[in-house]
Chains A and B, each alone.
Chain A
Amino acid sequence: MSDTLLEIEGLTKAYPGVVANNAVSFKINRGEVHALLGENGAGKSTLVKMIYGLVKPDSGTMTLNSGIFEPDSPNAARAAGVAMVFQHFSLFDALTVAENIALGMDNAPKPRDLAKRIREVSQAYGLPLEPNRIVGTLSAGERQRVEIIRCLLQNPKLLIMDEPTSVLTPQEVEILFTTLRQLKAEGTAILYISHKLEEIRALCDTATILRHGEKVDTCIPAETTARDMAEMMVGASFANPVKADRVIGATLLSVKSLNSSSKEPFGTSLRDISFEVKAGEILGIGGVAGNGQDELLAALSGEMRTAPATVQFRGKNIGDLGPTKRRKLGLLSAPEERLGHAAAPAMSLKENSVITAARRMGLLASGFVNWRATNDFTKNVVSEFDVRTPGTDTPAGSLSGGNLQKFVVGREVLQRPEVLVINQPTWGVDAAAAASIRQKLLDLADKGAGVIVISQDLDELLEISDFFAALNEGRLSTTYPTAELELDQIGLMMGGSHGAGQEAHS
């Protein structure tokens, strides 16, 4: 019996207008942790969907255990020993852990036996999980354990994990890696999809790098630098952001005991949030998704009004002012959701400039839009931020995620904000574009603006922020200088241990 578990030969899948995978070939051995590395849209998802039987390849072959492997459904793939943990969980909040697991199994054992097996497996792999707990009360990390244990109960030969660490704190990541290493030692192969390069270096034996649907390279992550891997992913070299020494000025924005109840049905309420941003400072706000990031941005942008004194700009109470008045003062923002929130997909870039820049950039003359001036401003954004677009009349929705994000960030930065609040500035953006966006944010702070970066990407915050705080269930931790923080301390802050270090009790 050979060492090869799964062999993929010339797998191709085309969708109208785009070839998602073009003749991709690679091998996974037993007990190997194999990374699938690539930018958004490189074809990672399509590839694993073909292995998991969700998508049928146009051509190419797969061999599992030296036999032809052509799963026509996830059931068939599971029966053959392939299990998958998705990035987005498919769990029912109102049911218990055991009930959720039973629902996902093809032939679930009796509830009492199942609970016993869940306890056994969770103990064996160091993933503590109580079978009778209601899933709605679990944290994101615990929910992921439910999914993993559901897979492990089927004794998979190949475990596929799609971006598993995006919802985890650093401590939870360590626990997960221990489990994965144990599985590897037992001979289970793991296909690990991620774009977090340091994680891949720490965990994976081999990495297959995809770009534009094609396999461009293979490497051994432990022997390759993160930078080299990033350049293989992007297919070009790019510069790392440079931090200059800055002069810290007066306090521009201060938030005092900000409370709010969320308008959205499953939103998070903000509780007693206080912080300050001075001129020339970048404050990074970290935290796992869904802990109040969107609400905090709405409270700062003016989309959500609060008591006047809870938000102060240069000492002036602005909590009750709307977005237009805040922009006039110099407080600008860019929300996370690009399509439909930061930009209107069906409208042209030119028109999208009007959304936030109309008044601050003087694009209006007694209520009439000066389209020529708007076009000039838009062209400026396009050239300064290297937005790849056929023109300023192109609908925003037809730009790629990274290009649209560059436009959205550029539209705010070129308005010379005094304070810029930005949520997930580089989410879903390729590495080169992300580096250029971060550099622009650093430049903005160099010129004396205050910048608040809300992000779920810790590496990003550690790279560019001067101060760091974490959001957890709508509360903000104490703010610390980023340089003085250790990774485990950050983990505690993200996990909700406020005033990490002194009173850690989570």
Chain B
Amino acid sequence: MIYFEKRLAPSRATTIVTPILAVILTMIAGGIMFAALGKDPFEAIRIIFWDPLFDPNFADYSRPQLLVKAGPLILIAIGLSVGFKAGIWNIGAEGQYIMGAIFGAAAALSVYPTESALIFPAMIVAGAFGGWLWAMIPAVLRTKFKTNEILVSLMLVYVAESILASVSQGLLKNPDGYGFPGSRNLQQYPSAFNEEVFTNSGMHWGVITAFIAVIFTYIMMTRHIRGFEVRLMGEAPKAAQFAGVSTTRLIVFCLGFSGALAGLAGMFEVSGPAGQITIDFNSGYGFTAIIVAFLGRLHPIGILLAGLLMALTYIGGELAQLMLGLPGASIQLFQGMLLLFLLATDIFTNYRLRFQGAS
């Protein structure tokens, strides 16, 4: 008989080993799936995980893309992880991301074509504010009326998408754009352009902000009383109350923090890689970041690695579609497997496997 036995204390080593195990299991199961699709599984895995970084034909293009894609994922996931630690579930980062982009772009476009060194900092503030404001709606509704922040934040994503569609055809539409929907391209507005800091590295200001957020959050969670309160609220809400932690303030902080970071991610995206506000500007970073947060075990360093891994499967997946003609859905399935195995192996943190003859 095989059974699970509860560990006396959660194992720290398995916390590190299980994500690696999950990646290996995903490769095996994914390989079987690719073989069933009639492709060489080893080649497919190599194209997804190896070629984007090291193949001379693709690496020049793919390597910068890794940071371009990982940056927003990490930035959003870091913000979400703080709330998740406290048991406050912001599922609407996608909406906050959109609002950050709109606010950031609007700040620049409102003074177009003035050039000033103050414009980009102002956009950063506006982007963070837009995301924060959008997250304050579920925060206020939760603290004042006890609504469920999961539902409210999620529904607000669709509101934000409608606002995005509206402003790209109206308020922020490019007057010189021959009637096409979409704003002016910020890449052509020097004061507002979120340029690469190092040429051809993919490292734009958003990526740097993401790294800063990782370090900041790591210090906050391990050393600062606010991080302690967040963890305490997640571990034992009644103990947090006994400690004197204000639930209201913590909810506002967690939702506000994650909203502001998601807003920043949106602003850096619209002023850099995307360039303009369009109807289909958002591409699901806000939702994928939820997976990244859990893949990284809600730990800042883990999230950094998980964000890079997730970006790699995106880029490698696109490459595999191109090179092997794999259907797009199989790549999504592959990413889904990753999350599934991750959650499945999570049980080993608290339980150990035992083998015993039937008794």
- Using a CB–CB distance below 8 Å, which chain A residues touch chain B? 16-17, 301-303, 322-325, 327, 335, 337, 340-347, 351, 354-356, 358, 364, 367-369, 371, 395, 398
Given contacts A344-B232, A346-B235, A398-B9, contact A335 B242 (CB under 8 A): yes
- Tell me the smallest distance from the CB of A249 to a CB of chain B, in Å: 27
A344 CA to B5 CA in the complex, in Å? 23
Closest residue on chain B to residue A321 by CB atoms = B244
Cross-interface CB contact of A369 among B10, B225, B239, B246, cutoff 8 Å:
B225
B46 close to chain A: CB less than 8 A: no
Residues B238 and A369 in contact, CB atoms below 8 Å apart: no
Residues B232 and A367 in contact, CB atoms below 8 Å apart: no
Residues from chain A with Cβ under 8 Å of B243 in the complex? 323-324, 354-356, 358
Between A and B, how many residue pairs show CB distances below 8 Å?
72
Residues from chain B with Cβ under 8 Å of A368 in the complex? 223-225
- Tell me the smallest distance from the CB of B230 to a CB of chain A, in Å: 12
Residues from chain B with Cβ under 8 Å of A343 in the complex? 236, 239
Residues A395 and B9 in contact, CB atoms below 8 Å apart: yes
B173 close to chain A: CB less than 8 A: no
Closest residue on chain B to residue A345 by CB atoms = B236
Q: Could you list 6 further interchain pairs (A-B, Cβ under 8 angstroms) beyond the known A340-B236, A356-B242?
A: A322-B244, A325-B244, A327-B244, A342-B239, A351-B231, A369-B225
A346 CA to B244 CA in the complex, in Å? 19
Instruction: Return the 10 tightest CB-CB contacts between A and B, nearest first.
Output: A324-B244, A323-B244, A344-B236, A344-B235, A355-B243, A341-B238, A340-B236, A344-B239, A346-B235, A322-B244
- Tell me the smallest distance from the CB of A399 to a CB of chain B, in Å: 11
Residues A369 and B242 in contact, CB atoms below 8 Å apart: no
Residues from chain A with Cβ under 8 Å of B358 in the complex? none
- Tell me the smallest distance from the CB of A284 to a CB of chain B, in Å: 22
B241 close to chain A: CB less than 8 A: yes
Which of B226, B232, B242, B246: most chain A CB closer than 10 A?
A: B242
Residues from chain A with Cβ under 8 Å of B223 in the complex? 368-369, 371
Residues from chain B with Cβ under 8 Å of A324 in the complex? 243-244
B8 close to chain A: CB less than 8 A: yes
Residues A355 and B224 in contact, CB atoms below 8 Å apart: no
Given contacts A344-B239, A398-B8, contact A358 B225 (CB under 8 A): yes
A346 CA to B8 CA in the complex, in Å? 11
B228 close to chain A: CB less than 8 A: yes
14 A-B residue pairings within 8 Å (CB atoms): A16-B6, A322-B246, A325-B244, A344-B232, A344-B239, A345-B235, A351-B231, A354-B243, A355-B232, A355-B243, A367-B225, A368-B225, A369-B224, A398-B8
Given contacts A302-B244, A355-B243, contact A347 B224 (CB under 8 A): no
Residues B242 and A16 in contact, CB atoms below 8 Å apart: no
A351 CA to B235 CA in the complex, in Å? 12
Residues B8 and A347 in contact, CB atoms below 8 Å apart: no
Residues from chain A with Cβ under 8 Å of B226 in the complex? 367
Closest residue on chain A to residue B239 by CB atoms = A344
Residues from chain A with Cβ under 8 Å of B6 in the complex? 16
Given contacts A17-B8, A395-B9, A398-B8, contact A351 B228 (CB under 8 A): yes
Cross-interface CB contact of B225 among A322, A364, A398, cutoff 8 Å:
A364
A302 CA to B242 CA in the complex, in Å? 8
CB contact list, B215-232 vs A, under 8 A: 223-226, 228, 231-232
A303 CA to B5 CA in the complex, in Å? 37
- Tell me the smallest distance from the CB of B295 to a CB of chain A, in Å: 21
A426 CA to B242 CA in the complex, in Å? 20
A354 CA to B231 CA in the complex, in Å? 12
Cross-interface CB contact of B231 among A17, A335, A340, A347, cutoff 8 Å:
A347
Residues A16 and B5 in contact, CB atoms below 8 Å apart: yes
Residues from chain A with Cβ under 8 Å of B239 in the complex? 340-344, 355
A342 CA to B238 CA in the complex, in Å? 8
- Tell me the smallest distance from the CB of B82 to a CB of chain A, in Å: 16
CB contact list, B222-276 vs A, under 8 A: 223-226, 228, 231-232, 235-236, 238-239, 241-244, 246
Residues B235 and A347 in contact, CB atoms below 8 Å apart: yes
A104 CA to B292 CA in the complex, in Å? 52
- Tell me the smallest distance from the CB of B223 to a CB of chain A, in Å: 5
Closest residue on chain B to residue A351 by CB atoms = B228
A346 CA to B232 CA in the complex, in Å? 9
Residues from chain B with Cβ under 8 Å of A395 in the complex? 9
- Tell me the smallest distance from the CB of B135 to a CB of chain A, in Å: 23
- Tell me the smallest distance from the CB of B283 to a CB of chain A, in Å: 37
Closest residue on chain A to residue B241 by CB atoms = A303
Residues from chain A with Cβ under 8 Å of B228 in the complex? 351, 354, 358, 369
Residues B244 and A354 in contact, CB atoms below 8 Å apart: no
A215 CA to B33 CA in the complex, in Å? 60
- Tell me the smallest distance from the CB of B288 to a CB of chain A, in Å: 28
Cross-interface CB contact of A303 among B10, B225, B235, B242, cutoff 8 Å:
B242
Residues A341 and B236 in contact, CB atoms below 8 Å apart: yes
A371 CA to B223 CA in the complex, in Å? 8
- Tell me the smallest distance from the CB of B69 to a CB of chain A, in Å: 34
Residues A301 and B235 in contact, CB atoms below 8 Å apart: no
- Tell me the smallest distance from the CB of B215 to a CB of chain A, in Å: 15
Residues from chain A with Cβ under 8 Å of B225 in the complex? 354, 358, 364, 367-369
- Tell me the smallest distance from the CB of B249 to a CB of chain A, in Å: 11
A454 CA to B187 CA in the complex, in Å? 69
Closest residue on chain B to residue A304 by CB atoms = B241
CB contact list, B3-52 vs A, under 8 A: 5-6, 8-10
A341 CA to B243 CA in the complex, in Å? 9
- Tell me the smallest distance from the CB of A412 to a CB of chain B, in Å: 11
Residues from chain B with Cβ under 8 Å of A341 in the complex? 236, 238-239, 242
Per-residue contact bits, chain B 64-103, to A (CB 8 Å; 1 contact, 0 not): 0000000000000000000000000000000000000000
